């Protein structure tokens, strides 16, 4: 499989997709067109989302064709040269993808080495489930089941912060709840400005910040860019 899974689209003070665009360009080298899944958009239209992504992809000479215009979305996924899934609300994205049969179609494609780029919600849906998203369940999908292209769970936009005066759970506490209920599953806290690249059977962390790793029975620990992450892709669960 050939996946580029990005934590966030936009770093503070930067333009949309500015920080990952050169990594995306390298990842999609030789690709002329991507099929784009815009269904995580909620407060703006799919047309606007397509235009927003196209504006940035113009810089790297790649055409963006949104699946929402298709009469047969599943067929277009199966014929795609590359697939791109944008961020937004993970529940809205999952519901629409399940309704159109896109989860299984994308899994089939990525297993055949079709390049896949996702950010935020688009990274969440490559996991076995969407249970480690940060998003509010504004709609009800058929299930929490996602594409399952990777065997671990991703928590994008991972934060260590516990704001002064905040008495609620931290992000880490929420993930610890998840692994307590799902003891076989690894979770990675992918901080902003970072991404995961899965290629040639190797998983690589890209970015200046470490990634936090969670597994029931283990104390959470940090990994850095260049560290061996094979334990995340060789697991059998």
Active site residue: 76, 120, 123, 197, which one?
Answer: 120
Half-sphere exposure at residue 68, Cβ-oriented, CA atoms within 13 angstroms: 16
Q: Provide the token pair at 144.
A: 């929490």
3-class DSSP state for residue 198?
A: strand
Q: Catalytic: 157? A: yes
In the chain, the largest separation of any two C-alpha atoms, in whole Å, equals 52
Active site residue: 157, 199, 200, 227, which one?
Answer: 157
Tell me if 235 sits within 8 A of 182, measured CB to CB. no
Active site residue: 135, 143, 166, 200, which one?
Answer: 135
For strand 187-190 and strand 195-199, is the pairing parallel, antiparallel, or unpaired? Answer: unpaired
Name the E strands within the chain.
3-6, 33-37, 63-66, 83-85, 116-119, 153-156, 187-190, 195-199, 202-206, 211-214, 221-223
Residues catalogued as catalytic: 120, 135, 157
């Amino acid at each position: 499989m050939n996946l580029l899974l990005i934590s966030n689209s936009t770093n503070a003070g930067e333009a949309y997709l500015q920080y990952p665009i050169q990594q995306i360009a390298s990842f999609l080298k030789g690709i002329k067109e991507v099929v784009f899944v815009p269904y995580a958009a909620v407060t703006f239209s799919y047309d606007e989302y397509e235009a927003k992504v196209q504006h940035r992809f113009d810089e790297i000479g790649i055409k963006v064709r949104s699946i929402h215009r298709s009469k047969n979305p599943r067929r277009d996924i199966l014929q795609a040269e590359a697939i791109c899934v944008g961020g937004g609300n993970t529940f809205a994205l999952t519901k629409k993808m399940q309704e159109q049969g896109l989860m299984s179609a994308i899994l089939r494609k990525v297993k055949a080495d079709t390049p896949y780029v996702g950010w935020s919600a688009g990274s969440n849906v490559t996991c076995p489930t969407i249970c480690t998203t940060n998003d509010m369940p504004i709609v009800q999908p058929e299930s929490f089941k996602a594409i399952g292209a990777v065997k671990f769970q991703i928590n994008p936009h991972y934060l260590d912060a516990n704001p002064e005066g905040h008495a609620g759970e931290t992000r880490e506490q929420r993930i610890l709840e998840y692994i307590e209920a799902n003891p076989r599953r690894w979770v990675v806290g992918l901080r902003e400005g970072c991404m995961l690249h899965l290629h040639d059977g190797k998983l690589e962390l890209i970015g200046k910040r470490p990634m936090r790793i969670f597994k029931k029975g283990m104390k959470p620990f940090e990994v850095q860019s260049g560290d061996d992450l094979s334990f995340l892709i060789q697991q059998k669960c």
